[in-house]
Structures are given as structure tokens and as C-alpha cells.
Chain A
Amino acid sequence: GAVVSQHPSWVICKSGTSVKIECRSLDFQATTMFWYRQFPKQSLMLMATSNEGSKATYEQGVEKDKFLINHASLTLSTLTVTSAHPEDSSFYICSARAWESMNTEAFFGQGTRLTVV
């Protein structure tokens, strides 16, 4: 299957700093990427839909000024957690889907464990 690479796999940062997470589609072009957040023993919650060359669409309750999403190319989307606080500690996962694919399967990155201290 297609490969989606997410970096870093884990990061620890101090409260008040910003953290950038990258999501790359390695062998296909992804016009749309999705960012999820998962709390322990909870489902994956969609945060936002990232569209190449345009603004991201955020789900209700997600602060767009805090979770900045950039999708500058067909293979890269970034999520920046700005002014991180301990409550932002979570597992963040991206997924991508090829634009030409008729299959609605989405491929996921390996996730990023963010810990804010």
C-alpha cells in the first residue's frame, strides 16, 4: 500500500513553545490530508482537513489559531501546535488519500506522541 511518513514520532517540549509535525506522502500525491488526535483509550478524533493550496477546514471545537495547518505541496502537510500547553499532550496522526484514487482507503502516518511539560 501507499506510504505516509510522519515526523517526528515523538517530541517533548516546554509549555509555551511551538511544535511542528510533518506528514508526507512518499509514493503518491495527496490533494487532501487529514489530521487526527487520539487521547488514551479514545477514538481518533478528526481535527481538520488539509487541502493542497488552500486553507484547512477545521472541525467544530478545534482552535485554528492554535493548530496551524499548512499544505504547501501535494506531498507535504504540516501541523504546528502553537504555544503548547500540557493539555495539548496527545497522539497526533495524519492520513492522506491519493487524488486519483477511486478507492476511499486512507493511509495513515505512524503518529506523533507530543508531551508538553
Chain B
Amino acid sequence: DQQVKQNSPSLSVQEGRISILNCDYTNSMFDYFLWYKKYPAEGPTFLISISSIKDKNEDGRFTVFLNKSAKHLSLHIVPSQPGDSAVYFCAASAGSGGSNYKLTFGKGTLLTVNP
């Protein structure tokens, strides 16, 4: 049973436009959510996170929105740049206050930003 779902395996957008990556989760115990960016043959790089006590977190071109009632979060990238082209993973954890937390990942969405 997949607890974190990224239903779009790929997304293609034009440079300068907004990229919206979606993520759904089923485990109501998740209280911390993260987005990672990954290039081929490299480890994931942390992008942005959000705690369940918030519904929005912004960092430069990246904004994450959380809708707890819908168990849905999204990552907005605006404006999109060709260098943003990568696989984006949504991840979630439960009991974020502890040190032995685990991340559950979605399958990722391949974002392609066309010049």
C-alpha cells in the first residue's frame, strides 16, 4: 500500500511558466512533508518542507501548499527554469519531533522545463 502518491510520472512546462507538482498521502499520522529534487545517478537534494501546522511555506521560487483535509500537498515553482528539470520526490514523516524518524517517498515526478 503506497502511503505517498505522486500520480503524475512526468510534467512538461515552458520556461518562465509555473510548474505545479502534486502529492497525495493516506497516512493521517504524517505531520511533516518534504520535497526533494534528484538528478540521475545522484542523491536527492532537499528543496523545501512544511509542517502540518502550516498550510503554506515559501522559499524563493518554491512554494509548498498543504491541504490536510484533502491529504494533499503541492509544490509550485515559478518561474520555471531549464535547470529545474529533474525528478521531484515528495516525502512524508510521522512523529517529526523524534530523532529516529523515517521518510516515506512517492515515486517521483519527472519535470522537464523547455527553453
Chain A residues at the B interface, C-beta cutoff of 8 Å: 1, 4, 6, 9-10, 31-32, 34, 41-46, 49, 51, 91, 93-95, 97, 99, 104-111, 113
Contact = CB atoms under 8 A, between A and B. Distances in A.
A104 B43 contact: no
Contact of B43 (A99, A105, A110): A110
A34 B106 CA distance: 17
Contact of A6 (B32, B43, B102, B106): B43
Nearest to B9: A41
Interface string B20-39: 00000000000010101000
23 contacts: A1-B46, A10-B41, A31-B99, A42-B107, A43-B107, A43-B108, A46-B103, A46-B104, A51-B100, A91-B41, A93-B43, A93-B44, A95-B43, A104-B93, A104-B101, A105-B46, A106-B46, A106-B103, A107-B46, A108-B44, A110-B43, A111-B42, A113-B41
